[in-house]
């Protein structure tokens, strides 16, 4: 679960229920996938409540002349009502009506239209028509609606729409609300690299503080290969950019989102980031360690610590030592999964004697289940790092 993905879902849900985001904060501990399913279930429930009535109205729409339908949509029918009727119309009939409507009217209807039902209609609409609708939504700052539909557009149309979005901050806002997360990678590749670099620099602009989490969300939601590519690109922007990202993640407590990003960087970039002065600050390391333990990210954490030098490792060891014994079980299991025993023992060796003894007891349980060769390897490491037994 990521805090940013949950936040995006809560915003979308609040919009459907017509309540404030603050009224839904009790949902923050639910996974984004569950919230998304819940949101779609509410949409279907709301549609089902009046399904018979809207189906009946759709029958009349199918029977009436197209010109009269267009007139009624323009003059008498609320956009919400039109969106509900549209569910029961054929794509061809929808298109015949849609092509006679203004971009402003279609934009108002799209706010209420279930994006899962609009995929075929978007194929019928011309690029010019889609761009006009996008311009209206952009003027209204309706990034939620734009994000819901953008993943359904072809690459060519996405490129054309991106050209009318002049501000990189607006591109980040749209990406934050994209409905299909697996499409984000593809969409990022469609956007010119120069614009991605400009988007990264937003993190250094205090005037755009509210957009910073949207940039971090983009970096956390993309796939492994693109995460490495974008992360390395951020590193190439210099220490100022990376420090700004670290500070933003710390201020908003977004390490559960950002730790996997750091762990996915290239070896050279990880070494650079892991040894920045910012990652030797006690409060930041404590937050990262807490996120790693709470969100089961110790495999990622150990990858990052592996690149840290002595001073940073001392801070990590001190932070871990302040957490209860259960954290040692989590670290031992992560070490087993990733074979990161050397860095783990190095960290344990920097802890107080009592913590070392606790760790040794936990390790004894694991070591009894290992083959002879691995047992001897770990036993030698324990001696090398002088982990206390008694």
Reported as a single tens digit per residue, the pLDDT across 121-165 is: 888 888 999 999 999 999 999 999 999 888 888 888 889 999 999
> What pLDDT shows up at residue 390?
52
pLDDT tens profile 72-121: 888 888 998 888 888 888 888 888 888 899 999 999 999 988 776 677 78
Residue 256 structure tokens? 């559960």
pLDDT tens profile 322-351: 988 888 889 988 988 888 889 999 999 999
Least confident of 104-118, 247-261, 276-290, 308-322: 104-118
Which residues, at least 6 apart from 143, have a Cβ–Cβ distance to it below 8 Å?
170, 173, 174, 176, 177
In this prediction, residue 8 has a pLDDT band, given cuts at 50, 70 and 90, of very high
Q: Is the pLDDT of residue 237 over 70?
A: yes
Q: What percent of the chain has pLDDT over 90?
A: 44
Q: Is the pLDDT of residue 389 over 70?
A: no
- Kindly report the average pLDDT of the chain as a whole number: 88
> What pLDDT shows up at residue 288?
96
> What pLDDT shows up at residue 179?
81
Which residues, at least 6 apart from 141, have a Cβ–Cβ distance to it below 8 Å?
none
Least confident of 18-27, 44-53, 263-272: 44-53
162 within 8 A of 131, measured Cβ to Cβ: no
Burial of 182 from C-beta contacts in 10 A (0-12 / 13-18 / 19+): exposed
- Give the span between the Cα atoms of 124 and 329, in whole angstroms: 57
Which residues, at least 6 apart from 304, have a Cβ–Cβ distance to it below 8 Å?
259, 262, 263, 270, 273, 274
- Give the span between the Cα atoms of 285 and 278, in whole angstroms: 9
> What pLDDT shows up at residue 388?
64
Q: Is the pLDDT of residue 10 over 80?
A: yes
* Mean pLDDT to the nearest integer, 184-189: 83
> What pLDDT shows up at residue 204?
87
Q: Give the CA angle between residues 158, 162, 168 to the nearest 5°.
A: 140
Which residues, at least 6 apart from 112, have a Cβ–Cβ distance to it below 8 Å?
79, 80, 82, 83, 84
Q: Which residue has the higher pLDDT, 84 or 34?
A: 34
Burial of 18 from C-beta contacts in 10 A (0-12 / 13-18 / 19+): exposed
Q: Is 351 helix (H, G, I), strand (E, B) or coil?
A: coil
């Amino acid at each position: 679960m990521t805090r940013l993905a949950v936040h995006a879902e809560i915003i979308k849900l609040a919009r459907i229920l017509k309540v404030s985001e603050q009224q839904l904060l009790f949902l923050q501990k639910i996974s984004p996938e569950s919230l998304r399913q819940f949101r779609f279930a509410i949409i279907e429930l709301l549609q089902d409540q009046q399904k018979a009535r809207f189906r009946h109205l759709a029958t009349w729409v199918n029977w009436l002349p197209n010109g009269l339908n267009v007139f009624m949509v323009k003059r008498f029918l609320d956009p919400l009502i039109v969106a509900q009727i549209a569910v029961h119309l054929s794509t061809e009939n929808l298109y015949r009506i849609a092509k006679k409507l203004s971009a402003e009217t279609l934009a108002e209807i799209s706010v209420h239209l279930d994006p899962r039902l609009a995929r075929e209609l978007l194929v019928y609409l011309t690029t010019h028509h889609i761009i006009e609708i996008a311009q209206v939504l952009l003027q209204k700052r309706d990034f939620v609606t734009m994000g819901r539909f953008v993943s359904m557009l072809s690459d060519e149309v996405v490129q054309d729409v991106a050209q009318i979005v002049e501000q990189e901050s607006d591109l980040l806002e749209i990406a934050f609300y994209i409905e299909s997360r697996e499409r984000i990678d593809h969409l990022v590749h469609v956007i010119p690299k120069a614009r991605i670099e400009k988007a990264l620099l937003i993190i250094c602009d205090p005037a755009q503080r509210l957009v910073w989490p949207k940039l971090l969300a983009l970096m956390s939601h993309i796939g492994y290969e693109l995460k490495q590519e974008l992360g390395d690109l951020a590193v190439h922007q210099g220490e100022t950019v990376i420090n700004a990202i670290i500070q933003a993640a710390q201020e908003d407590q977004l390490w559960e989102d950002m730790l996997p990003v750091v762990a996915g960087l290239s070896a050279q970039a990880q070494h650079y980031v892991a040894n920045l002065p910012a990652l030797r600050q006690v409060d930041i390391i404590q937050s990262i360690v807490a996120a790693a333990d709470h969100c089961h990210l110790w495999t990622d954490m150990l990858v990052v610590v592996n690149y840290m030098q002595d001073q940073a490792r001392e801070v990590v060891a001190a932070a871990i030592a302040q957490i209860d014994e259960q954290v040692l079980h989590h670290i031992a299991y992560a070490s087993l999964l990733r074979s990161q025993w050397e860095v783990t023992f190095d960290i344990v060796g920097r802890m107080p004697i009592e913590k070392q003894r606790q760790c040794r007891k936990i390790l004894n349980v694991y070591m009894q289940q290992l083959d002879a060769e691995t047992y001897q390897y770990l036993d030698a490491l324990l001696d090398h790092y002088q982990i206390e037994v008694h």
